[in-house]
Amino acid sequence: MELTKQEQAMLDGKEGYAVRKSMEILTALGEIFGAKSLIDVGSVQVAGVSYHNLGDAGLEFLNELAVDGRVKVLTTLNPAGMDLENWEQLGISPEFAQKQNLVIDAFQRMGILISCTCTPYLIGNLPLYGEHVAWSESSAVTFANSVLGARTNREGGPSALAAAFVGKTPNYGLHLDENRAADIHIQINADLPKLSDWGALGYVIGRKAENKIPYITGIKTADLDKLKSFCASVVTYGAKPLFYIKGVTPGAEQQIQPEQSCIIEQADLKGAYDAINDQVSDIDFVCVGCPHCSIKEIQEIAELIRDKKVKDGTELWVATSRTAKQLADKRGYTATIEEAGGKFACDTCMAVAPLKGRFKALATTSAKGCFYSRQNLMKTKMGSMKECVEAAVTGKWNN
Ligand code: F3S
């Protein structure tokens, strides 16, 4: 890989330890994937924030970098292992909270925005069409590539951090035109009225388009919440973090229809629900907001739960960014949800909080949430926002 004089100086340690370490990571990645050079990035999204996943070794690594590592571009943070303010209310232990705060402190010293959300595009980290960025977190990467038309590979935590300290990333993979062409055509002959239908669709397409870029036809319209749900699901279940929907997402009209094709019918979606849903009727955990809830979703929850009560023995978590919650506070949605017994889980989510063994059965709108909650040993049910709120109020799943 060819380096400029300035990049070589960074690799030689002229800008300190963190930048040298970062250049070592970026040049190693570039060599492995055949990049010819580094390119500037407009922003970075860093995943690997939960102490639950990092452990003491991860915390030590971050502290070493935080001594002289300062980010060169706008850098936002993925969810942490707890709500940074209301962790006690969510049943997080003081020992975990102390370690998680040390992780956050290290990121803060690096100059990273402590946003702790997987929807950075809803809080101001919004890349332009064609802009190169270095994001980690699969749903955010897919949203950036597909809905915004920005360009990013699916970075890991360390390579994203390295890009933040250097302001550059190796130019390979989804940064290059030749790797962004769709390679499977998917025709949708099914209705998708519910938010969870988009999670189910992501499951079906992810499986059919394993490691491919889907070009999707047959969808007339999709709002932001449906697209973010689809982004989370399609990549979790196997596709590359880029898709095109004809008439909906940017760049779709320029795609040449791929030869390989398949049709998705209503029965395929039902099959996805059958695969994602376990045989369980008692629900002790309802968590919505995977990816993090938009203000519109919080409004919907508030309207559905007004004058109702979350059943004793069941918890309702609304996972969202702190920024979205602040809007919800002003509009009265927070008060309505909390009066009903619901809890806000800002800065965190059901996949990265230490939840293993705490709950038996989850209800959610999210196919990705089901995938990770099974790893946390929960039975799972996926359905509409209405069905989830109903489950929180009754403690039962009704079908
Ligand atoms: Fe976001 Fe956590 Fe889901 S990071 S996409 S809420 S698994």
With 0-12 / 13-18 / 19 or more C-beta atoms within 10 angstroms meaning exposed / middle / buried, residue 349 is: buried
Predicted confidence at residue 6, as pLDDT, reads 98
Q: Tell me the per-residue pLDDT of 361-376, one tens digit each, with 9 for 90 and over.
A: 999 999 999 999 999 9
Q: Is the CB of 79 within 6 Å of ligand 1?
A: yes
Residue bearing the CA closest to ligand 1, atom 3: 290
The pLDDT confidence band at residue 340, using thresholds 50, 70 and 90, is very high
The single-letter code of the amino acid at 297 is E
What is the average pLDDT across 247-274? 97
Q: What is the pLDDT averaged over residues 106-111?
A: 98
Q: What separation in Å is there between the alpha carbon of 356 and the centre of ligand 1? A: 16
Q: Is the pLDDT of residue 399 over 90?
A: no
User: What's the CA gap between 227 and 195, in Å, rounded?
Assistant: 9
Separation of alpha carbons 399 and 379, rounded Å = 15
Give residue 256 CA to ligand 1 midpoint distance, Å: 32
What is residue 381's predicted lDDT score, i.e. its pLDDT? 98
Out of 76, 118, 374, give the residue to mutate to test ligand 1, the one with the largest number of ligand atoms within 8 Å of its CB: 118
Residue nearest to atom 2 of ligand 1 (CA): 349
Question: How far away, in angstroms, is 259 Cα from ligand 1 center?
Answer: 33
- The ligand 1 atom nearest the CA atom of 372: 7
* SS3 label, residue 370: helix
Residue 398: pLDDT band with limits 50, 70, 90:
confident
Q: What is the DSSP letter of 155?
A: E
Q: Which helix (H) or strand (E) holds 204?
A: helix 195-208
Report the residue among 50, 53, 122, 139 best suited for mutation to probe ligand 1: largest number of ligand atoms under 8 A from its CB: 139
Ligand 1 midpoint to CA 14 (Å): 38
- What is the reported pTM? 0.98
Ligand 1 geometric centre to CA of 229 (Å): 10
Cβ atoms of 381 and 278 closer than 8 Å: yes
Whole-number pLDDT of residue 334: 98
Q: Please state the atom number of ligand 1 nearest to the C-alpha of residue 118.
A: 1
Q: Does the C-beta of 163 come closer than 6 Å to ligand 1? A: no
Residue 85 has pLDDT above 80, yes or no: yes
Q: Once rounded to an integer, what is the mean pLDDT over residues 334-362?
A: 97
Dist CA 7 CA 20 (whole Å): 10
Contact 350, 373 (CB under 8 A): yes
pLDDT reported for residue 372: 97
Mean pLDDT taken over the chain: 98
For atom 7 of ligand 1, the residue with the nearest CA is 351
Return the residue whose CA atom lies nearest to atom 6 of ligand 1.
290
Residue appearing with tokens 């973090």: 241
Instruction: Tell me: pLDDT of 54 over 80.
Output: yes
Residue nearest to atom 1 of ligand 1 (CA): 291
Q: Using the mean position of ligand 1's atoms as its centre, give its distance from the Cα of residue 118 in Å.
A: 6
Tokens encoding 203: 């499951």
- pLDDT tens for 120-149 read 999 999 999 999 999 999 999 999 999 999
Test site for ligand 1: of 143, 231, 368, most ligand atoms within 8 A of the Cβ: 368
Residue 261 has pLDDT above 80, yes or no: yes
188 lines ligand 1 (CB under 6 A): no
> What value does the mean pLDDT take over residues 246-262?
96
Q: Provide the residue type at 290 as one letter.
A: C
Give CA–CA dist 369/73, Å, rounded. Answer: 30
| Average pLDDT estimate for 48-72 | 98
Percent of the chain scoring above 70 in pLDDT: 100
Percent of the chain with pLDDT over 90: 99
pLDDT, tens digit, 9 for 90 and up, residues 192-228: 999 999 999 999 999 999 999 999 999 989 999 999 9
Measured between alpha carbons, how far is residue 356 from residues 97, 146, 365, 372 in Å?
Answer: 16, 33, 20, 10
